[in-house]
Chains A and B, each alone.
Chain A
């Protein structure tokens, strides 16, 4: 009998190989994720749709600002161009805060994470796969938005490209850390939806979605700079149109990442 023959004691191996099959996991998760049309719409198309809608829907968005003082950040820039940093910050937040926690709450609810932990694959792999999917989608959504904005409106060359890129990366780190914290603890997809909305919309407001750059009330700016999305938008504003280094906003985003990410890892629930 073959089963008897194989029943010799084996030496204990170190805990599995861990990442075998990760490539296929990533491909399969991506294919399945793409079947959800809402995640594709919000992740890939929403920033572009919003830019085009605002650019053509609101009068004067494409006329250069001349009412501002000549030494202001905004002088000579079109309002639609000043909207870009906010839209980019929103693009990150949409995936990190609206999409990711619902994904993980669904996994937890359905026992996907638990099922995975019965196989040689580490269940952590599915987290890594979904971070990769969401980060990649952020880049695609942002690239599309920038490309379309350039074609339709002509975007401004950033004055300090490095500051913009740094702010974008830090914005991703801090917003995905916040998204992972929500993902770590929310159990039901319906709760995840509710909690994510409660976090997402105030953040959008503070990042200037309704009052971008030049027309943002000072109080919103003051509060917004201490939120991850608001700090990202403001730091990109500075890098794009202004001079100097947005130190406070950078520090705020770093602090969110440093606090929230370890917390998310610590609190992450598998069941």
Chain B
């Protein structure tokens, strides 16, 4: 090659000897800084293969001199995070719900921790904003079926509603229509009466007839006034909030076929500290009593 070097007349640069339609490729040397950078990256790559995990083997991979592992790194940072939370979690475990709420630092920790536990465990039914859906209570409002103070919320989370736990909250409303305990006309009258309790009924005469039936059939749980009872888990029928809908068809449906939503018991699935944080989070949403 050395003896048949061809030099381009115009630029004075050697050519590679490649030619396309009379156009010749100049053999321009690489810039020195570029070349040295290139050599440095080659060295870096070689060193990287040796120092870091790099090559796949049949059932594993080369581990590298310093034994780096991104999995171990993750485990380490998770452990560090646990460690950092540990002090708070210990205090939360030891304190009563009232004590936690009274301690601003613990309250903030519990609300944040409860919020993330809620997103993982509760939001599937209650919604990410805890606003619920038809049949799944809105936890932001001030209407509670089983009670809305810290203890009551904590109890509900622990044992659930109609769950498989022995201490579960449980009640049962008769299916007045399906089981033919009331005639359709009577059900219609009771529905009118129930709607009138919150001022939305239309048929005053039917409501007056329904009041008699209500007193006989419903007031044992829902109370004479219709305001319900936390102990029995009987909803307040006089307020503006309807779990299954507040129009007449929905109320008739409820009386005729009953309702029986369920919530799992979380004790045993979640640890005590998490349940406390959840109770405090739900209580802080705005309706806590």
Does A associate with B in a complex? no
